[in-house]
Each structure stands twice: as C-alpha cells, then as structure tokens.
Structure 1
C-alpha cells in the first residue's frame, strides 16, 4: 500500500536532539503535510554544546522538499520545556482550528497520520473529546469492539487536537484550587495512592516546582471530564528515554521504544461512548508504582498487627 499523505496541519517541536528530530522529520516527509509548523526552543544560557546542537537540529528543516507552506517559530533564548511547548502549541492553534503535534522524540507510524485525519473531522464539534493520541501502552490488550477506545488520560506522545480544546489550557492552573483537584480526582479514581500522587502533582505545579506543560493539560481535562481517543494498537514509538532527556531519562523504562503496529482500515468506531477505566489503570499502575505501594502498605500493616499481638501477649 502506498504511503499515506496527511491532510491535517502538522506542528513539529524540537530543541537540541538532532538525531531524534531527524527521524521524526523523515516520517513527516513521507506523510507530506501541506501545512507544516516548526517550533524550536533556544540553547540554554552558557551551554556551548546546546548552541551547536540547536543549530544542527534547525538545519534538518532545510530539507523540506515537497510542496507545503512552512511556518517557523525559532527562539533565540531557552524557554524550557514548560513555556516553550505551551507557547508553540498556542501559536499553532492561533492559526489552525485543528492539527497534529509531534515532539522531537515521538516517532509516528504512517498510519498515525491516517488515524488523526479520520478522527479530527469526525469529532470536530464533539466537546466530550479533548484530544486524539497515537500512543497505546496496553501491551497487546484491546478494549471494546472498535479501532480505538476512550480514555480519561490524555496521552501526548504524538497527538492531535482542536483549538476549542486548547483554549481551556491554563499553564499555571490559576483558575483551579487544591480542593477542586481533590474533589475531581476522587470522583475519577478509586485508588488512594493514585489520587494522592495526582494531588501532589497539582500542588507542585501550583508551586512552579515542575518544568512541564503536559500535567496541566491532563489535569484540566480531568476537571472538564474530557476524553482522549486512544488507538487499540500502538502508533507512536517514544525515542526519548535516554540520559539527555528532560523527563524520560530512564532507558530501561517499560514504555521506551515500543514498536508500532498496523492499523486496521477502514476504522471501526466503538459502539459505546464510555471511558475504559481499566485500561487507564493498567498503565497508571506502572507509572505510579501502585502495586508496589500497596504491597509495602500491607507488609507494614501486617508488621504492626504482629507487634500489637506481641505487646498484648507480653503483658498477659
């Protein structure tokens, strides 16, 4: 089958990793979007290595050899992961009603572009849906009877969305208080450790202790009760689990470099419009080490009970 040519606008995000950025660009070149947006963060102050790596990364985009309109947002100074990405996505949606976003470590299959093209118009005006992801972390497990299912967690390793969704983005969560987060999270999740972990994330974001943009996106979508469309096969391989990553630096991470799979065509749409909560728990359990935390708690409770019995027997 001939390679699919994407119809939706595409935004590429990059910084100082020319090797991974080139691989993503090569996949985009195959898809040949008619509208290509490129945003690149600048080198960190005093980092001579960054200067050359950023320059080398930006030179990749001189290789555009298909007919398309190109828009560039290149920063001379480093803004960091949080601000650089958030500003780039805002810039993109100021000019486009909908589109696809790829960071420089999210390697898409060609089917990913077809997937987004099929679903962006289908759910264009459905405000229940906040984004479409190409990432599937279910390790072969399929959910429902469709080509995709609905998740309450908004994966952003290769994703697509609409201006209407991004307009709700709040980089510093200024419109939300901790009591609101507690109420919402306790209604979404039943696992106490998971609820506490997200509350801690919320607190650290409000205190500006986390240099990231994506936790805010997820939390806001929790507040809005939004859903993410997730394919029943994996369409994105994350190449970013390595020592020079900003966040995904563990090269042995179980979600690193997952193979992409073939998407069935035409798409089969799900019969039921409900979130697959068990699917979300499957990968959140790994991400937040929930089983380990519960095992540790049970051991501690067992030891306390044994100590109490010993103490009671001691004074009989």
Structure 2
C-alpha cells in the first residue's frame, strides 16, 4: 500500500455530508472531513422518527465542532422525510448554490487522498458531459490500469462527486425516459451479460413508484444517457455502516466491506478517455460484486451453485416480479467466480463475507 497523502492545503471544492441518527459513525466521517478542511461545508440531516430524537440530536452535535475556517450551511429537517425525499431535496439545495461538490454519507469513511482525487477530476472533466460522476469506491478493492483511475459504465455512491450539469438530469420518478426505448438504451450501454436486463427490470420497478430509494434512479439515469464514471485503481472509501442500524446495507458479512488504500498525491491520468478506457473484465466483476452481496439471501444457494455450474443455460424458475433470478448469474461461471473470490481474498483477507460466500457456494 502506498503512503497516504492527505490534502496539503484547505480544500476548495464544497463538501456535502448527510447525517441522521448514528453519532458514532458520523464522528468518524466528520474527522476525515476535518482533516481536509473544506472551505465550504453543506450539512444535511433528516428529522427523527419517534424514539430517535436523542440519537439525531447527538449526530447533529458532532458536526457542530467545525474548528477551521469554513463556511458552514445547514439544512436540517425537523420532520422525518425519508431517505429519498431528504437526500434528493438536499442535493437539489446544494446545486442551487454551487457548480460541483464532493458528497459523503454518515457511513462512508474516506481516505484523506479521496478529496484531492475528487477535486482534480472534477476540474479535469468539468466540461465533458459524458463523464457524469467521480467515484471514490473501487468495488473490487484494487485494480490495475494504465493510470491511477479509469472509467466504468456504472458507478457507486459510497463517496462520490459530481457537477450541477450532471445532477440537473436527475429524475426520481424516471418520467423523462418513459417515451424512449429504454430497454434498447440499456443494451446499447451496458455490456455485461444480464446487466442490461437487470437494469431494465429495475427501471420498470422504480418508474413512477414511491420506493424510498434515490440512488438507483441516479445510476440508471446515468446509464440511459450513456454516461461514465471515474473509478480509482485503489479503493478510497469504505462503508462502515453495515448492520442493523442501516437502511439497506444490513448484512454484517457483506463482501463489499473492503479496506481503504491510497493513491499518490500527483495522479497519473489515463492515456485515453471513455469509452475507450473501459475494462470489460472489471465491468463484469464489478456487476457480480453487487450480485454477490445479495446472493447469500438466495434459498438453496448450494444446490443452485452445483446445478448452474453443470448447466449454465439452466432456466431459473423464479416469479417474474422477483429480482433473485439475476443474483444467480455469477454461478453460471464457476471458474471465473473462483478467480474473483481469490482476488477479493488477496485484497481483503479479513473479509468474513467473502469467506462465508465461498463456503456457501462450495468453491
């Protein structure tokens, strides 16, 4: 692992932090922000549900400790709006005031070099509309490339950055795409086996719905526009919020719990721009990582592993409204799946989720 390189000077790019009711996690993430000393800080908080008042107040008290020169702006709701409305309204509020920002949630702990990486790439790709976001997460932990980052067709929101010009296309109901041939657009952009069909399935599920989620609409919208995201060759953000207090990431043995690494302070830029610099193996494994995080919940997992390894074309008899049929895709490729899990063991040898998954699948 390369020597950490924190920001040498105060950070000029605005930083956004969402918080709610986890003061311990909020404190860890806020400490990382304090090291970067952003000149402008946006704090967004949802209001408490019944019984959460003390925890919400404690989390808000944590971020009162701004002890550097900084313009702090708060958008704290007194009522509970829910994840979707609170985060979307918060980002809208931010981009009414600034052109670009770095965004963190209360459970996304970043390496000190994350801020400089985001700031440099926000400036570099500011006027390239095909680049929609800068990701701090590398879902495989580490990946070799010709530069210190590369491009992917599908991103992650565990520590990210973007521009007003990209966010203004966001539509939480996905209504702007309903008159388009959405299925064809997904197949044109997403090349991994099964990924376009999975994206289309999710689009139909979310289109016009009131599901309390916001990030899938953002990622699906980026894909429908043919957008790309920058991904660091080393993971710069770790989700520290797996467990019972999380809204979605409740599995404490989630294989996506990866350690932090570092990049050099002077980034090496890749020799080409998207779509040329897309690694198809990374795309496939990155998508599989998302599926693996859900795979443990699949009934009779070991039996499916044996059956699909012997007959990859076997049809999975799941209800049409079930997402589980997509989770099994990696099991159709047992040798490459074994290679992926070996990679994860080397990158994150203490990841219980990877060890448990290998045992459950029988690899």
Q: Same fold (TM over 0.5)?
A: yes
User: 1:191: how far off?
Assistant: 4.7
Residue number in structure 2 paired with 1:25: 30
Supply the RMSD in Å over aligned alpha carbons: 2.4
Matched, 1:236 2:217: no
Deviant stretches of 4+, over 3 Å: 189-193, 289-304
Residue number in structure 2 paired with 1:203: 204
How many aligned positions are there? 299
Residue number in structure 2 paired with 1:282: 285
Instruction: Give the TM-score normalised by the residue count of structure 1.
Output: 0.88
Judge conservation of contact 1:178–1:199 (CA < 8 Å) in 2: no
Instruction: Give the TM-score normalised by the residue count of structure 2.
Output: 0.77
Within the candidate set 103, 106, 129, 2:105 is matched to 103
How far apart are the structure 1 equivalents of 2:25 and 2:188?
39
How far apart are the structure 2 equivalents of 1:90 and 1:303?
45
Matches for 1:213-228 after TM superposition, within 5 Å: 213-228=214-229
How far apart are the structure 1 equivalents of 2:288 and 2:6?
36
Structure 1 unaligned segments of length 5 or more: list them.
305-316
- Report the more deviating stretch, 230-239 or 178-187: 178-187
Judge conservation of contact 1:100–1:159 (CA < 8 Å) in 2: yes
Q: Per-residue CA shift, 1:157-205, capped at 9, x if unaligned? A: 1011110000000011011228632111222334553333222211221
Within the candidate set 14, 34, 54, 1:9 is matched to 14
Matches for 1:241-256 after TM superposition, within 5 Å: 241-256=242-257
User: 1:98: how far off?
Assistant: 0.6
Residue number in structure 1 paired with 2:135: 133
Alignment CA distance shift 1:71-1:303 (3 Å): closer
Alignment CA distance shift 1:34-1:160 (3 Å): same
Structure 2 unaligned segments of length 5 or more: list them.
296-300, 316-363
Matches for 1:14-163 after TM superposition, within 5 Å: 14-44=19-49, 47-48=50-51, 50-142=52-144, 144-163=145-164
How far apart are the structure 1 equivalents of 2:131 and 2:151?
9
The 3-state SS of whatever aligns with 2:113 is helix
